[in-house]
């Protein structure tokens, strides 16, 4: 029920988190499940790999980062559902292996794919 409430910010300990919004560029994306030189979105077997794929896809469309709300939105648009609250846990291995960087900017957590993440996705294409 907490997710239904609309807040401009929330406070956890001494940290205030801004309301996470969809960037209009992300909301208006015409996105499909294909990505040149990579396997398709539907070939990704884990939620973590699907998030890596989405980050690679939007990078080719000129967007270098996504927030967690945008990841959830795009996963729905691609015919899957990755809830916001599960994003960090499913990415723990990719974060640890430096495939994804999660900076906190303006009190919003973003996800950026790094070169090792792109290389990893290419190896999935060969399987």
State how beta strands 66-67 and 108-113 pair.
antiparallel
pLDDT score for 21? 85
Q: Residue 14 above 80 pLDDT?
A: no
Q: Note the pLDDT tens digit of each residue in 99-127.
A: 999 999 888 899 999 999 999 999 986 55
- Collapse the DSSP code of 8 into the 3-class scheme (helix H, G, I; strand E, B; otherwise coil) and give the result: coil
Put simply, whether the predicted model's pTM sits higher than 0.75 gets the answer: yes
Torsion sign over Cα 109, 111, 115, 120: positive
Q: How many CB atoms lie within 10 A of CB 117?
A: 24
Q: Note the pLDDT tens digit of each residue in 40-93.
A: 999 999 999 999 999 999 999 999 999 999 999 999 999 999 999 999 999 999
Distance CA 127, CA 124 (A): 6
In the beta sheet, which residues pair with residue 10?
17
């Amino acid at each position: 029920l907490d997710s239904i409430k609309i807040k401009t910010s929330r406070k956890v300990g001494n940290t205030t988190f801004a309301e996470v919004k969809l960037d209009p560029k992300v909301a208006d994306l015409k996105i499909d499940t294909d990505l040149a030189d990579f396997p398709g979105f539907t070939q990704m077997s884990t939620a973590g790999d699907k998030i890596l794929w989405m980050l690679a896809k939007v990078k080719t469309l000129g967007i270098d980062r996504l927030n967690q709300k945008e990841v959830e939105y795009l996963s729905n648009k691609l015919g899957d559902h990755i809830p916001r609250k599960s994003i960090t846990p499913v990415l723990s291995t990719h974060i640890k292996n430096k495939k994804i960087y999660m900076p906190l900017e303006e009190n919003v957590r973003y996800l950026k794919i790094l070169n090792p993440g792109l290389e990893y996705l290419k190896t999935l294409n060969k399987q």
